[in-house]
Amino acid sequence: MSRISANLLLSLVALIWGSAFVAQSVGMAHISPMTFTGLRFLIGALIVVPLIWLEWRGLRRHGKLPQVSDAYKIAGLGSLLTLGAAMQQVGIASTSVTNAGFLTALYIPLVPLLGWILLRHIPHWSAWPGGLACVVGAYLLSGANLSGIGAGDLWVIASALPWALHVLLVGRVADGMHAPFLVAGGQFAVCGVMALAWALAFETIQTQGLWAAAGALVYTGVFSVGVAFTAQVVAQRYTHAADAAIVLSSETLFAALFGYLLMGDRVSAVGLVGCGLILMSLVGVQLLPILKRP
């Protein structure tokens, strides 16, 4: 897969994630955050099982079955996924979808920064202005008027760190193991079990609430987790983490689009400027690294 193809696949991931903000908000009206997180990731894990089975047969045939150390890496990714998804979900319960969409985008500039600090990987210079432009664009798209920072907003802000670490590491782990579907499904299972264990211990789970949230659970479990997160793992084997973060930031645009189509939200003139900034960043991160030097 070429770098451009990988980034196009990540754009599809962003589209699905953008639509999932609405479903997550709807689902949270009926069940608690960790219950929702645990169930949707277990659904996602089940979706990937057939692909894992086929991949496992190929690994066995070529003598490349995972080692114990690989299991630890998958568990680590699953833990980061749990932290990011759970904190975001808790935040969405007490803040607006618009605020959540903007604040989640704070992970974008963290990815190249953490890559530089932890992995000594210097990204293309376009990642820095591109990441900043995406955050500013997401802020403008939110209306440039976050109505006070509340507890829900703080939870979403905190989720930026595990999201950034996950984006930074997931492609490296999948590429090193040559098993993107195993990595994807394994981290989903870890996340689902951890979140659901917390829910069983500290949340009240009612059958009526589960039935009411069933549509949101199925949509986010199948598409947001099973399809989109798996596609992210595959695509990030072929593109840089900093590029991936910028491309994935277009979920903010798609969240606004689905908010307009499904919830009657409207984008102001300032918001349209924000859309333009994000689009410019996406185009820049695609084209600038491949331009030939004079």
Q: Is 146 exposed, middle or buried (0-12, 13-18, 19+ CB in 10 A)?
A: middle
CB 98 within 8 A of CB 197: no
Determine the average pLDDT of the residues in 41-58. Answer: 94
Q: Is the pLDDT of residue 292 over 60?
A: no
Q: What is the pLDDT of residue 117?
A: 78
Q: Assess whether pLDDT exceeds 70 at residue 7.
A: yes
Characterise 149 by phi-psi region: left (phi > 0), alpha (psi -120 to 50), beta (else). beta
Residue 261's pLDDT is 72
Considering only CA atoms, which of 239, 22, 229, 248 is closest in space to residue 134? 248
pLDDT score recorded for residue 39: 95
What is the structure's pLDDT at 191?
94
Share of the chain above pLDDT 70, in %: 82
Closest CA to 217 of 49, 20, 67: 20
Alpha-carbon span 242 to 108, nearest angstrom: 8
Residue 294 — very low, low, confident or very high, per pLDDT cuts 50/70/90? very low
The whole-number pLDDT of residue 287 equals 62
Confidence at residue 293, expressed as pLDDT on a 0 to 100 scale: 47
d(CA 133, CA 127): 10
127/42: higher pLDDT: 42
Q: What is the 3-state secondary structure (H, E, C) of 142-186?
A: CCCCCCCCCHHHHHHHHHHHHHHHHHHHHHHHHHHHCCHHHHHHH
Sequence-ordered strand ranges (E) for the chain: none
Highest mean pLDDT among 56-70, 82-96, 243-257: 56-70
Q: Which of 92-101, 186-195, 260-269 has the highest mean pLDDT?
A: 186-195
Return the closest-CA partner of residue 247 out of 113, 105, 121.
105
Q: Identify the DSSP state of 293.
A: P
* pLDDT for 197: 95
Residue 85 has pLDDT above 80, yes or no: yes
Which has more pLDDT, 283 or 280? Answer: 280
Q: How far apart are CA 258 and CA 22, in angstroms?
A: 8
Nearby residues of 232 by Cβ (< 8 Å), 6 or more positions away: 10, 13, 170, 244, 248
**What sign for the dihedral angle of Cα 173, 178, 182, 185?**
positive
User: What is the spatial distance between Cα 86 and Cα 155, in angstroms, rounded to a whole number?
Assistant: 9
Q: Whole-number mean pLDDT of the chain? A: 82
What gap in Å lies between CA 286 and CA 193, rounded to an integer?
37
Q: What is the pLDDT of residues 231-280, one digit of tens each?
A: 998 998 888 787 787 788 777 777 777 776 766 666 677 767 777 776 67
pLDDT of residue 56: 92
Residues 119-149 have pLDDT tens digits of 777 766 766 777 777 677 767 766 656 555 5
pLDDT band at 66 (very low <50, low <70, confident <90, very high): confident
Cα 228 to Cα 168: distance, rounded to the nearest angstrom: 17
CA 151 to chain centre: 21
Q: What is the mean pLDDT of residues 179-194?
A: 94
pLDDT over 80 (residue 161): yes
